[in-house]
Amino acid sequence: MQVGGSGVLKKLGKSSILVTDIANQFWCERQMEFNYLYGKKYTKYMAQGKQLHEALQDEVYVPLTIEPVTYMDVMYKTAYENYRSLLSLKEKGICRELRVYGSLNGYRLSGQIDEMKVVGGKAKVIERKTTDASRKLTEVYTRPHVMQVRLYRKMLGDIRAKKYTHDNFVNIYGLKKDGLSETFRRELHAMGIKDELANPYSMSELMFNALYSIPDLSDRLEVAYVDRFSGKQISSMEIDYNEEKMSVDIAYALKFWNGERESAPVVESEKWKCNFCKFFGKECKVWWTG
């Protein structure tokens, strides 16, 4: 399986595409690009969202607290936490903060699913977004969220159908049966993890076997909106998995990553978004008249 490596990725200092990158293309593609070129500002709202996700994760399983040192430590930690989350799906019917990997026309793709829940015997993908209680959920506002949750559903479907396998994952990410730092390995042994599972290759294989065996995937998806201040859910939106529509959107998005076109700014009818963008009137002057 080829790993995407276009000039656009190199220009943005990236080796892969995130699901949120593609989702953000459907809010403002130019803003998504400039976040990589000029630096993304970490806001208090992003910090609030991170705290919410961590709290929800802790309700399902305890993350691995060992601090990774090497690349292989990081990959092991991710595979271990994914496996624990998938065990929760099997035993409790719910999992959260599941890192998922895939390929999109040869590009390396990854993202983190907020939640999966077994409903009517099928695994339903749920995305959670923090927002203001007064926010109107217009089609323009929810468009990126719809794209994001559909893409997660596609990636899971590719794994279950073994279009994207453990072998693909190992080859693309260069996983081995060694490479853990001594400190990390000692901590794993102290936790009671057996030698045969104390390596990135074996733990990721366990993770993929769990992914292969998740229940049938629901074609009903959900985006839940949570008040950024109280943490309480204020509304939700049910979405049908529309693979045909998603394929059209992906083809459009990939033209940017392939270098076939420049990043697109918002359309004129949505230029109100520019008032909330840190690049407006500085690096980006698309609708700047001053």
pLDDT of 288: 73
Q: What is residue 4's predicted lDDT score, i.e. its pLDDT?
A: 41
Rounded distance, CA 287 to CA 90, Å?
A: 50
pLDDT at 230: 85
Asked if 279 and 38 touch (Cβ cutoff 8 Å), the reply is yes
Q: Is the pTM of this model over 0.75?
A: yes
Q: What is the pLDDT of residues 24-61, one digit of tens each?
A: 999 999 999 999 999 876 556 556 556 655 565 556 65
Looking at the DSSP bridge assignments, the partners of residue 111 are: 100
**What is the residue extent of each domain of the chain?**
7-276
Give the model confidence (pLDDT) of 164-184 as tens digits. 999 999 999 999 999 999 999
- The CATH-assigned architecture of domain 7-276 is Alpha-Beta Complex (3.90)
Q: In b/e form, how buried is each residue of 230-241, taking b as 16+ CB within 10 angstroms?
A: eeeebeebebeb
Residues near 3 by Cβ (< 8 Å), separated by ≥ 6?
15, 16, 106, 107, 108, 172
Question: 1 with 106: CB under 8 angstroms?
Answer: yes
The Cα–Cα gap between 79 and 1 comes to 21
CA distance 111 to 95: 15
